[in-house]
Structure 1
Amino acid sequence: MQLSTHTTPSGFLLPSIHSAPPFFTQQPNPATQAIVAEQWSKLILSYARFRNMFTLRVEDAEIPGGEWDEVLRNERINRRLLPAHLASLIADMVSKNLASYDPPNQTRSVLLWWRQPDEWAEVLYQWADSTGQMNTILTFYEILDPPVPSALSGIPITVLRRAVSILTKSQRAQIISVSDGEGVRFLSRNGK
């Protein structure tokens, strides 16, 4: 069988390893499984970034036609990732800080870090600067659902909080209490 890339209906280009039947089964050799886990991690994160998705659940392996189906299943070779294997891959991603359990204290759902929190902080700060939001108090809702869609549109509140926390520690933002919850004020780098 020849391995080949494949473009999904969403336009995502699957790597050739996705057409290898062993890719979909947990490998008994730990060294081989480590390579498979690394390839799955790259695939999951690049797909999530392509589709602007943030959450992956073990149950996603069981949902035909779901938002993860075109990656977790390959009908061309009649293979799919089983939930137990996905749970193992998720645990591996969490151990490498590529994902975090969300909500905490469970192991079936993760928040995917296709951009690390410090990268999200930079995206947030650049957005605030480029849209003239410096020294303006914005609610979290205004950031997550801006009038003009941005790279921040629809990100989970958990991601936003982590990014704001990083900016607060570097004195580029401050948390402000507002009437309907929390807000943030972005501060220019020179403190003005």
Structure 2
Amino acid sequence: MSLSPHTTPSGNLLLGFLLPSIHAAPPFFTQQPNPATQAIVTEQWSRLILSYARHRQLFTVRVEDAEVTGGEWDEILRNDRINRRLRSSHLAYILEQMAAKNQLVYDPPKQSRSALLYWRTPEEWAEVLHEWASTTGQLNTILTFYEIIEPPVPSPLSGIPMQILRKAIHILTKTNRAQIIAVADGEGVRFLPGNAGK
């Protein structure tokens, strides 16, 4: 069988996800005894996981996802055309390597089975957040965190995990582009123009 890219159906999404040709190679799904080879495989898996998460807007991956048939990660963690799937122990190793490169953070902390993916870094999310506030006329308006995560009109921030949102807001506060404000039901944020404090 020749190795070629393959497009997934991606559930009911209009655009499928283009899997790299290495996804059709049986050794890709197996931990390699040679450290140099495994480093290449891990790098390829890391890129694949992050690009697929971005494509599907997935923020969380769990070691158990390798064992779940029909789950949201099934399209990339298995390849039925070559009868292969990534084992949970291999996925745990890949996630550990991704954590070491700040490509994800374990959530909740102090465990290594579930992680939040940084397909955008917190710094990139801060820019997306400020751009969203600017283009939707939200500058100098106090918004609750919930209004950002669950906006009335879907946005690039829809469904963003609270932990990532907090990091992005913290980055904006350090550059005087946001202020944390106490509101009746918890915390809110006021976004300031980019030149605030200059």
TM-score for both structures, normalised by structure 2:
0.96
Structure 1 unaligned regions, length at least 5: none
Counterpart residue type for residue 60 of structure 1: D
In structure 1, distance between residues paired with 2:194 and 2:7: 43
What are the Cα deviations for residues 130-169 of structure 1, in whole angstroms up to 9, with x where unaligned? 0111111000011111111110011111110000000011
Deviation at 1:60, TM superposition (A): 0.2
Work out whether 1:8 is the aligned partner of 2:8: yes
Runs of 4+ in 1 over 3 A off after TM superposition: none
What are the Cα deviations for residues 61-100 of structure 1, in whole angstroms up to 9, with x where unaligned? 0000000001000000000000000000000000001011
In structure 2, distance between residues paired with 1:41 and 1:108: 16
Q: 1:52 aligns with which of 57, 60, 68?
A: 57
What are the Cα deviations for residues 96-135 of structure 1, in whole angstroms up to 9, with x where unaligned? 0101101100000110000000000000000000011111
Deviation at 1:9, TM superposition (A): 1.1
Counterpart residue type for residue 7 of structure 1: T
Deviation at 1:191, TM superposition (A): 2.3
Structure 2 equivalent of residue 99 of structure 1: 104
What is the number of residues matched between the two proteins?
192
Structure 2 equivalent of residue 90 of structure 1: 95
Counterpart residue type for residue 185 of structure 1: R
TM-score for both structures, normalised by structure 1:
0.98
> CA RMSD for the aligned pairs?
0.8
Q: 1:36 aligns with which of 30, 35, 41?
A: 41
Structure 2 unaligned regions, length at least 5: 11-15
Identity within the alignment, % = 72
What are the Cα deviations for residues 159-183 of structure 1, in whole angstroms up to 9, with x where unaligned? 1000000001111001001001110
Counterpart residue type for residue 86 of structure 2: L
